[in-house]
Amino acid sequence: MMLLSPLDEHTVLDVTREGGLAFIPAFNVHQRVAWCDLPLTQRERLCALINPMASQAAADSGPSAGRGDQRFYRILILGQDPARHLPPEFEIVVPESSAPPELAMLWKKGRLE
Question: pLDDT tens, position by position, for the chain (113 residues)?
Answer: 456 666 577 788 999 988 777 666 666 778 898 988 888 888 888 888 988 888 877 666 445 555 567 888 999 988 765 666 656 678 889 998 889 999 999 998 888 87
* Nearest to 50, CA basis, from 110, 109, 1, 108: 1
Q: Name the E strands within 1-113.
A: 12-19, 30-34, 71-78, 89-95
So where are the chain's domains?
A: 12-109
